[in-house]
Structure 1
Amino acid sequence: LDQIWGYEYLGDSRTIDVHIKRLREKFKDHESWRIATVRGIGYKFHVRENKY
């Protein structure tokens, strides 16, 4: 986070987690959309193809 917002940033280190949670809530109606947690790296947006 220091590289993104700089050393003077006064926000919480959980800021990204809060935004990801909100995005996941918005995506819950789209079963093919998913944000996966990549441990030690960050997050990954994934769109599954619908197979008929």
Structure 2
Amino acid sequence: MLTSHEFELLWLLASNAGQVLSREHVHQHMIGRQYDGLDRTVDVRVSRIRKKLGDNSDKPFRIKTVWGQG
């Protein structure tokens, strides 16, 4: 079962399927303040969603990280 924050993040990602969203954009949308470069909240939520969806973090199928972009 997803938490409300995880669901909100998953909804944001699904609504923008096929697009790369920057960590800054996701952080601003989810947390409501500018990303400071240190906060790992979004990373942890993505990790938890991947685990709950059974997505392999080494070779993700559903939620992909594009290094240097988002």
TM-score (norm 1): 0.49
The answer to which structure, 1 or 2, has the higher relative contact order (CA under 8 A, 6+ apart) is: 2
Rg larger for: 1
Structure having the higher strand fraction is 1
